[in-house]
Amino acid sequence: MRDIFLIALYAFLGAAGAGLLGALALHLLRRRSIAGSLAVVAAVAVAAMLAGTLAVARAMFLSSHDLTVVTLVVAMAAVVSLATALLLGRRVVIGARELVVAAREFGQGGRFTAPVGPAPAELAALSRELAATSARLAASRERERALEASRRELVAWISHDLRTPLAGLRAMSEALEDGVVADPIRYHRRMRTEVDRLNAMVGDLFELSRIHAGALTLNPARVSVYDLVGDALAGADPLAREHGVVLVGNRVDAVPVEVDGKEMTRVLANLLVNAIRHTPADGTVAVSAEHRSGSVVLSVTDGCGGIAPDDLPRVFDTGWRGTVARTPPAGAGLGLAIVRGIVEAHAGRADVRNVPGGCCFEVTLPAATA
């Protein structure tokens, strides 16, 4: 037992010496190529075995012939180990260089192309992650371009829509100032109408800016969808009568939701005003609400004749107006963008689809928990 312990001790001391030298070499090569580190690891393994063998051989007083044989065997093993380590290191270095070139092109052109050919699992995982990052950045740039285009359109439309009522107000004020107006009361009413129109546009812009800035503060409370729809229908009824449109509130389930009543009333009002303005006289605008799989779906269906399929994805974009058939007589195309912003702030979703004779806007909200 004592001999075995001594053999193990001598072998450990010899291997430990080689290991310390290898650790020092790895520290010195820590900023060098990984191929050199792999070669050092292979050399340390063989040197540790050789050092341990020599230490045991001297302690056991082996013959010089046996010691030479062992040394030759270990030397051949060292040659094979080093060759294998260098071959593996070369493969890793080549794969890393290709990945560096691809990453450099990614930084310059914004698109990552994964290197062709097999690669170690770690490098392959890094390549996949860079490819996924490239795809996310491309999608982000596309959204940014679309948002920038939308902003430019919004500025152009807002400028146009503001210029028209301002020009009218200026003309009417000059006419009143010059005393050439036969019916001043009518001019005053018209001026008030234009001011109300401007005030509504500025209010929409302020609301939209709060939504985009993430400054929309909600005060959710438990309310019944039946009450929300009833209040919205009552508020939109005068406009519907003016346009000769019939409002119908059918299939409205009295299910509770946790929402900000003021903001959700604005959502329904915007949808109803949009539907009424695009429904011809003697047409019908129907409102419904139902419970679907843990969600509450509010629907507003109009008789506008439908929206072009290519325009459906843009309906809720800021400033979108669509075709001439759906261009409102007033406003800047902000109503539906505000609808989407408020609904998404409630963790909901706003959608639109064509139906026979018109289109259906749906607002999906989480149902209130019991």
pLDDT in tens, 65-95: 666 776 776 677 667 776 766 676 677 777 7
Given pLDDT bands bounded at 50, 70 and 90, which one contains residue 124?
A: confident
**Backbone φ and ψ of 110, nearest 5°:** 80, 5
pLDDT over threshold 90, residue 172: no
The pLDDT of 262-286, averaged and rounded, is: 90
pLDDT over threshold 90, residue 360: yes
The pLDDT of 331-338, averaged and rounded, is: 73
The pLDDT of 105-126, averaged and rounded, is: 70
Give the model's pLDDT for residue 285.
Answer: 92
Give the model's pLDDT for residue 250.
Answer: 76
| H-assigned helices in the chain | 2-28, 34-60, 64-109, 121-178, 184-212, 225-243, 261-277, 335-345
State the CB neighbour count (10 A cutoff) for residue 75: 12
Encoded tokens for 195? 């001011």
Query: Going edge to edge, which strands form the sheet with 284-292?
Result: 246-252, 284-292, 295-301, 358-366, 349-355
Q: Return d(Cα 103, Cα 134) in angstroms, integer.
A: 10
Q: Return d(Cα 62, Cα 205) in angstroms, integer.
A: 94
Encoded tokens for 174? 């000059």
Give the model's pLDDT for residue 328.
Answer: 41
Q: How do residues 196-207 score in pLDDT, each as one tens digit?
A: 878 877 877 888
Across 105-114, 200-209, 298-307, 324-333, which has the greatest mean pLDDT? 298-307
The pLDDT of 30-59, averaged and rounded, is: 68
The pLDDT of 156-160, averaged and rounded, is: 72
Give the model's pLDDT for residue 325.
Answer: 40
Q: How do residues 299-317 score in pLDDT, each as one tens digit?
A: 999 988 888 888 888 888 7
Length of the chain: 370
pLDDT over threshold 70, residue 96: yes
Given pLDDT bands bounded at 50, 70 and 90, which one contains residue 330?
A: very low
Give the model's pLDDT for residue 112.
Answer: 72
Average pLDDT over the chain reads 78
Given pLDDT bands bounded at 50, 70 and 90, which one contains residue 272?
A: very high
In Å, how far from its chain's centre is CA 50? 59
CA angle 280-318-137, nearest 5°?
A: 140
Which among 23, 332, 30 is positioned nearest to 164, based on CA atoms? 332
Give the model's pLDDT for residue 329.
Answer: 45
**Backbone φ and ψ of 346, nearest 5°:** -90, 15
Q: How do residues 36-47 score in pLDDT, each as one tens digit?
A: 666 766 677 767
Q: Return d(Cα 285, Cα 245) in angstroms, integer.
A: 7
**pLDDT above 90 coverage of the chain, percent:** 9
Q: Which of 88-102, 308-322, 355-369 has the lowest mean pLDDT?
A: 88-102
Given pLDDT bands bounded at 50, 70 and 90, which one contains residue 57?
A: low
